[in-house]
């Protein structure tokens, strides 16, 4: 499957026709970069466009003007039937992202006066699914946190990263983008710069996570630092900024060592942190602020209050929650 993705990207990044579909996709991606879109956002759109471009090439569709609404409906069917190397389908939300990417691309082409109308404008996207992942239990969390070998620079860095994930709920890209100056020890906060939606925010960091990050900065970071001008907080073994994909790979490996089969990697810490805060009585708008959600619905969608807490609240507040008289008449 990696070979398929590589070939798709090769075809997209080496357009032969300056007026062809691939060339316009390249221009669109370049325009996104000038708008200071995140690296992860541009990478995702590039991958989705490369998939569509390869599909079009197989059908002899070479120019944007040749793409019709019917073609896009057939591509939507292709996404629905597509199977990855492991036999798994593309998730519904993944299909939505792919189709939304195309809608935005063709909308841009209309603004550039390449097309008169957007062929993707009236596509009916698959219904969004609530991607509620099961959070880690406290025992599972503590097991994972204890796995890194803190006697090594990489292990100490990983422990600091995991503690920071759990304490703050920040996204993996936000964590790998952190600079040393973003940590305010006096106020006990992280300055998350240009998070999702290009918005800055301040996130509280607990004493435990702060202690591990401080230990990493004091003992491990200097051991791998090569270029003193590198400002990123977390570095790989070569002294370069830690990559989001590299971080995800290491987190998955720790989950595997712990025997945890729950879906997710770095994002599972975010989900667990938010769920734990809600379970312990935090106001959902405070959680929204910490997570950096623009809309409260985003917080509601993937931070669910546990059934146990709902039962407890119901039992404590509803006047008919307790059985005071047996339905058959007995007291």
Domain 2-111 belongs in CATH node 3.10.350: no
**DSSP three-state, residue 242:** coil
Q: What is the pLDDT of residue 131?
A: 56
- 171 classed as catalytic: yes
Q: What CATH number was assigned to the domain covering residues 138-312?
A: 1.10.443.10
- 8 classed as catalytic: no
Q: What is the pLDDT of residue 146?
A: 95
Q: What is the model's pTM?
A: 0.61
CA distance 23 to 4: 20
Residues 32-50: tens digit of each pLDDT = 888 877 777 888 899 999 9
Q: What is the pLDDT of residue 158?
A: 96
Exactly one of 63, 133, 302, 309 is catalytic; which is it?
A: 302
- 51 classed as catalytic: no
pLDDT: which is higher, 307 or 186: 186
Exactly one of 26, 48, 267, 304 is catalytic; which is it?
A: 267
- 252 classed as catalytic: no
Token digits of residue 221: 């970071």
Taking CA atoms, 231 is separated from 183, 205, 227, 290, in Å, by 12, 20, 9, 24
For residue 302, pLDDT over 80 is answered with no
Exactly one of 71, 107, 133, 196 is catalytic; which is it?
A: 196
Share of residues in the chain with pLDDT > 90 (%): 47
Which residue blocks in 82-230 are alpha helix, DSSP H?
92-111, 138-145, 153-168, 172-176, 207-219, 221-224
- 267 classed as catalytic: yes
Exactly one of 45, 51, 53, 270 is catalytic; which is it?
A: 270
> pLDDT tier at 326 (50, 70, 90 boundaries)?
low
Domain range summary for the chain, segments of one domain joined by +: 2-111, 138-312
Exactly one of 51, 53, 159, 171 is catalytic; which is it?
A: 171
Count CB neighbours of 119 within 10 A: 22
């Amino acid at each position: 499957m990696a070979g398929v993705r590589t070939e798709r990207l090769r075809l997209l990044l080496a357009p032969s026709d300056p007026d062809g579909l691939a060339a316009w996709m390249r221009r669109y991606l370049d325009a996104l970069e000038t708008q200071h879109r995140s690296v992860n956002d541009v990478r995702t759109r590039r991958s989705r466009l490369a998939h569509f471009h390869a599909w079009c090439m197989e059908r002899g569709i070479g120019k944007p003007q040749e793409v019709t609404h019917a073609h896009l409906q057939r591509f939507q069917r292709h996404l629905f039937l597509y199977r990855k190397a492991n036999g798994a389908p593309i998730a519904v939300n993944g299909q939505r992202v792919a189709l939304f990417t195309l809608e935005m691309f063709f909308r841009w082409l209309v603004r550039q006066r390449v097309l008169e109308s957007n062929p993707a404008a009236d596509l009916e996207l698959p219904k969004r699914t609530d991607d509620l992942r099961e959070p880690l239990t406290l025992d599972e969390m503590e097991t994972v946190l204890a796995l890194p070998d803190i006697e090594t620079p990489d292990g100490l860095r990983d422990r600091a990263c995991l503690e920071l994930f759990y304490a703050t709920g920040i996204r993996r890209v936000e964590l790998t983008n952190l600079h040393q100056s973003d940590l305010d020890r006096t106020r006990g906060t992280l300055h998350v710069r240009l998070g999702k939606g290009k918005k800055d925010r301040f996130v509280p960091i607990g004493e435990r996570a702060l202690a591990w990050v401080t230990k990493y900065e004091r003992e491990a970071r200097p051991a791998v630092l090569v270029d003193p001008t590198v400002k990123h907080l977390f570095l790989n073994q070569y002294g370069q900024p830690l990559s989001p994909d590299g971080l995800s790979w290491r987190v998955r490996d720790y989950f595997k060592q712990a025997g945890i089969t729950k879906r997710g990697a770095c994002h599972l810490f975010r989900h667990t942190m938010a769920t734990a805060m809600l379970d312990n009585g935090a106001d959902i708008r405070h959680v929204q602020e910490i997570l950096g959600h623009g809309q409260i619905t985003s917080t509601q969608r993937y931070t669910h209050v546990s059934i146990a807490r709902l039962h407890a609240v119901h039992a404590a507040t509803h006047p008919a929650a307790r059985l005071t008289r047996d339905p058959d008449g007995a007291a």
